[in-house]
Each structure stands twice: as C-alpha cells, then as structure tokens.
Amino acid sequence: MPMARGPAHREDAAPVLRLRGITKRFGALTANDDISLDLGRGEVLGLLGENGAGKSTLVSILFGHYVADGGDIEVFGRPLPPGQPKVALAAGIGMVHQHFTLADNLSVLDNVLLGTEPLLQPFSRRGGARARLLETATRFGLAVDPQARVADLSVGERQRVEILKALYRGARILILDEPTAVLTPQEAQSLFATLRTLTDDGLSIIFISHKLNEILAACRRVAVLRQGRLIAVRDAAGTDRAELAALMIGRRVASPERKPASVERGVLLSVRDLAAGTKLRRASFDVRGGEIVGIAGVSGNGQAQLADALFGLLPANRGEIRVNGERVAATPRAFIRAGVARVPEDRGALGVVGDLPVWQNAIAERYRDAAFSRFGWLRRAAARVAAQQIIERFDVRGPGIDARTRSLSGGNIQKLVLGRVLITAPEVVVAHQPTWGLDLGAVSYVHTQLLAARDRGAAILLISEDLDELFALSDRIAVMFRGELSAARSGWTIADIGLAMAGGAEPVHG
C-alpha cells in the first residue's frame, strides 16, 4: 500500500516540531531517556518501538498529558508549555488514538463540536460549523455526512471523523497511533490517500505503527526507540524491514517458514451453525489435524464470541461444537478435558492469575490431574517440577517459579500460557490474538510454536486481526463479518479478503 512520502525535507528548513533532551521517569523506570527529534513541514515521520519502548510516553508529553522531567519542546519555533493539552491543541497538535474517542449516540457534527464551544454560550453556531466541516472534508477528501450517527458508521468512516476533529481544531501536526490497526486493506489504502493530501497541504504527521511495511511505504524518515532511548533515525528509502526489526529489539529476528503440512489427519474440531451471545450469528467450519485455519475480521464482528464459545465461556444460542466427533458441554472444564488447548486474547485477565506464583499458573488447568493431586491435596513438588520444565522448554524468562506472575513481561506471560497448553501435545489449539502486543522476537517465537504444533498433527484455529499473521501461518482462512463466517479457503488475495471484511462478499455456510 505505497504512498508518496511528501515533499523533500530540506535540512536547512526550520522544523515545525523540535524535541530536545526529553526525559521522563516513573519511579525507578526511565520511560524516555534524553530523546531529541525534529519533524519537518509536510513530513511523515515513522515512530517505531516495542511495547514499553517509550513511544506512548513521548507522544503523551508532546500532547500535554505528561510533564517531562527534563528537556523542552518547540512548536513552529515557539516553546510549548508542559502539561497543558489545551495549549498543545492551540499550538496546532492533534492526535488520533488507536481506540477512537467518539460518542456513538451523537452525530458526526456533534462529535466534532464537542469541547469547541463554551458551556454557557446561549446558542450554538451549528450552521457555520457544518459549512466549515464540509469545506474541510472536501478539501482533504474525507467525505462524511455531518448528520450521520457515529454508531451507524463503518470503522474507516469513524477514523475519518477523528481526523476531521483534529483538522477542524486547526491541527498542523497530526499524531496517528496505530492508524490501520482496525482497518480493512481497502480502508488503509484510503487512509494513505488522505495522508498524501494532508502532507501536500503542508501538514506534518507522526505515524506510530508496528507494521514495518506500512512504515516504509508511508514515511520519509523512521525514528526507532528501544528501552526509552532513541536508537536510530533512518531514511525510509535507505533501510528495510530486517534492519528496522533488529534496531527495535537489538538483534536480528528470523521469521519462521511455513511449509506444506507433513501430517494430514481427519477433522478434529467441527463447528456447525453456531450462534452465541449477541454478535455471533452463524459459524460453520472444520479444522483437520495438521492444519491451521485462520479467522479474519475487523474487531467487533463476533470473533470474541466465537473464541468464548470455543473456550466454554459462552453457551451457544444455537448449533454445536464437536471435538474428535464428540459434542462438548459449554464449560471451560469440559473443553479442557476434551483436549482443547486455549490461548486467550487477554493473557493478563484470562490467561493467568497475576498474584499467584508462576508455578501455580503453570499447572492451573491441570491441577486436578493425578500427577498433581492426591486425595484432594496439591502435590506441590510435582507441580513445581512441571513448572520448571515449561520454563526451560519454552524459554520463559523472569525471576523464577516463585515470583508473582504479574512480574513477568507480556511476552514471557504469553510463553508461559503457550507452554502450559502445548506441553501436553494437545490435538486442538484455539489461539485468539496470540501475538497481540508482543515484540517481534516474541511474535516469531509464538509463530514457531504454533507451526510446530500443526506439524505434529494438531488442529489449530487462529483468530487474529493481523492479516500478516494470518497469511504467514494459515493453510485456509475464513472471514467474519457482522457475526457471520465465510467458508474457509486458501488462495485469498489482500484485495479479496479486504472486501470480505467490509461485507463485500456473501458468507458461505458449510
């Protein structure tokens, strides 16, 4: 999804934004360590870094949500007073968050006007505001109906409203936080066309994303943060994915290679005419041993309800789930006993109990097994041995098996969850967003483990909003749209799957 990188940035031109020596500490943690960075007029600057690298802290300081412990900021040559979001807005800084901040029950115009008029003003200047909004929308190619209710808009349209909110308030520097995370490929292409128009008009953009291909396509320069420090600034034309990934995590990362399945077995997971909760309307599919079936879709289309039903957390309104030909009752214990290994979306809330030690979480789904229980008493020694085996085999790094699990990093918690379910060599694995929020090294590790389970003959259902992940791992892919699941098949193109994610293809039920 290439886009023009905007006008050439002259080295002698005064930057529109200048950060000098920005430092921020939270207790013993230094979130930003002496960061200095410039942004040119009409430039798209990529900001890369793992979770915890300091990206969010840096833009929060820029937007006035945090006050830096050291350093200063200049916007259009003038000092920016710290800790005042209203001042940042008045200086021309706008931000579009990954999770939209819109009131669904209000119109587009009402959302744009929120916070722009005094509460005690006797009348609203809606007529003039509507005309100004339409003029801004036309100028930048952001077509939207001012009277439309936000709840009725697509995800891509809601993002347009967020950008219009910033432009309406006079933003000349726009911060985009993971702007394509919830978009279809077609919506992402439309966003890039909008960015082209914005930069041609002189707007400057900080583009935060974990998608390296998009960073390279959209940005003129790329700034890389690691552990709170600015590690490097690269011209996008002179770098590549491999170098950026190595800069982010401090070492080269090899992506696992998916080869044709070496083991072919019968159907191990079968779902027929399944409806659950309020969003999952109909899903039918089979997963055979030795294959990975991916489920794609924009967030909120029923994938979470499907995962909950397959974890035994949500009873079916209709339909059935069979594992190895047997129907499974709607309880977590029944699914675990049936041999379904579960990797939940929220590893912190559903995957582990953070206040329990690592060793207890390591056997949390098997503590009733004879190996760990005798006459109702937990066999602590056996449990600790099993936990140590998981830690060593799945490279779980941390202070040890007696430490509270919440003290582990997100990637190591995910390794613990993955090790707990895969060490038993399960026949069925349901993985929901298994790499969400993980750094590139941990992502590569998780992918390697899932492919190894597939090659061993397990049936794997992969529910993910990351198309790169789905294309890298899946043998077949199905698409969820408004609670209905398409047929799972191979041979999707990015364009085809994007249309299906937006409702452009009728679901085909098995």
Residue 123 neighbours by CB under 8 Å, 6+ apart = none
Query: Quick one: tokens of 153?
Result: 């808009």
Rounded CA separation 208/136 (Å): 24
Asked if residues 89 and 82 have their Cβ atoms less than 8 Å apart, the reply is no
Q: What is the dihedral of CA 15, 19, 20, 26, to 10 degrees?
A: 180
Domain ranges of the chain: 14-92+173-252, 107-171, 256-339+426-510, 354-424
Pairing of strands 44-48, 204-208: parallel
Shared fold status for 14-92+173-252 and 256-339+426-510: yes
* Residue that the structure tokens 């579960």 belong to: 342
Asked if residues 176 and 208 have their Cβ atoms less than 8 Å apart, the reply is yes
Angle at 495 between CA 504 and CA 95, to 5 degrees: 90
What pLDDT was estimated at residue 118?
A: 56
Which residue type does 457 have? Answer: G
CA atoms within 13 A on the CB side of 451: 20
The CATH number of 14-92+173-252, from 3.10.20.30, 3.40.50.1000, 3.40.50.300, 3.40.50.970, is 3.40.50.300
What pLDDT was estimated at residue 263?
A: 75
Q: What is the dihedral of CA 70, 75, 78, 83, to 10 degrees?
A: -50
Q: What is the 3-state secondary structure (H, E, C) of 346-415?
A: CHHHHHCCCCCEHHHHHCCCCCCCCCCEECCEECHHHHHHHHHHHHHHCCCCCCCCCCEHHHCCHHHHHH
Which regions of the chain are under pLDDT 50? 1-12, 119-120, 122, 506-510
pTM: 0.77
Pairing of strands 459-463, 291-296: parallel
Q: 43-58 in b/e burial notation, b at 16+ Cβ within 10 A?
A: bbbbbbbbebbbbbbb
Asked if residues 451 and 294 have their Cβ atoms less than 8 Å apart, the reply is no
424 dihedral zone (left: phi>0; alpha: psi -120 to 50; beta): alpha
Helix, strand, coil percentages for the chain (3-state, nearest 5) = 35, 25, 40
What pLDDT was estimated at residue 120?
A: 45
What pLDDT was estimated at residue 14?
A: 85
- Helix or strand or coil: residue 460? strand
What pLDDT was estimated at residue 509?
A: 46
CA atoms within 13 A on the CB side of 90: 8
Rounded CA separation 449/456 (Å): 10
Of 146, 165, 138, 141, nearest in space to 108 by CA: 146
Rounded CA separation 241/245 (Å): 6
Of 225, 132, 218, 217, nearest in space to 170 by CA: 132
Q: 256-339+426-510 sits in which CATH class?
A: alpha beta
Of 349, 457, 361, nearest in space to 418 by CA: 361
